[in-house]
């Protein structure tokens, strides 16, 4: 398993079913080699402009990624997975794209707290 690989892992769906879904390995985490991943979706309408990134059939690295059609790499859909949850690897993205995605995520995380959005929750009932 390498950073930049697109792998398949079981993920819960909105209907409660578990399906094998593609995710991108962003980083291999220290000590236990768990994987920091982000989701990949074919629902391009979910795109967060300036944050998420489309990978399209005419992109240089599309043939090697293993995806079947235009997809969205969703930096806002993060998870840490143990390697044992990986069902297989289907491809990889280019080193250039991987670096760009990591930079986008790092820049967002480093953003001044004064600029961050506050979420207000309703009281529990």
CATH number at residue 55: 2.30.30.110
Q: Residue 112: inside a domain, yes or no?
A: no
Q: Residue 122: inside a domain, yes or no?
A: no
pLDDT at residue 117, rounded to an integer: 63
pLDDT at residue 16, rounded to an integer: 85
d(CA 69, CA 87): 20
Q: Residue 115: inside a domain, yes or no?
A: no
**pTM score over 0.85:** yes
Domain count across the chain: 1
d(CA 6, CA 23): 6
pLDDT at residue 59, rounded to an integer: 97
pLDDT at residue 119, rounded to an integer: 65
Q: Residue 124: inside a domain, yes or no?
A: no
**How many C-beta atoms lie closer than 10 Å to residue 86's C-beta?**
18
Q: 62 with 40: CB under 8 angstroms? A: no
Domain that holds residue 14: 5-105
* Residues of the chain under the 50 pLDDT cut: none
Q: Residue 117: inside a domain, yes or no?
A: no
How many angstroms from the chain centroid is the CA of residue 70?
15
Q: Residue 114: inside a domain, yes or no?
A: no
């Amino acid at each position: 398993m390498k950073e930049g690989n697109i792998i398949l892992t079981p993920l819960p769906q909105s209907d409660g079913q578990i399906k094998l879904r593609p995710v991108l390995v962003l980083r291999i985490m220290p000590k236990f080699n768990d994987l920091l991943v982000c989701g990949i979706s074919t629902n391009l309408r979910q795109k967060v402009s300036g944050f998420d990134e489309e990978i399209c059939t005419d992109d240089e690295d599309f043939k090697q990624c293993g995806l079947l059609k235009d997809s969205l790499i969703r930096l806002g859909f993060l998870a840490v997975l143990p390697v044992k949850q990986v069902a297989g690897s289907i491809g990889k993205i280019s080193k250039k794209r991987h670096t760009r995605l990591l930079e986008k995520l790092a820049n967002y995380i480093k953003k001044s707290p004064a600029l961050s959005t506050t979420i207000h929750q309703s009281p529990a009932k």
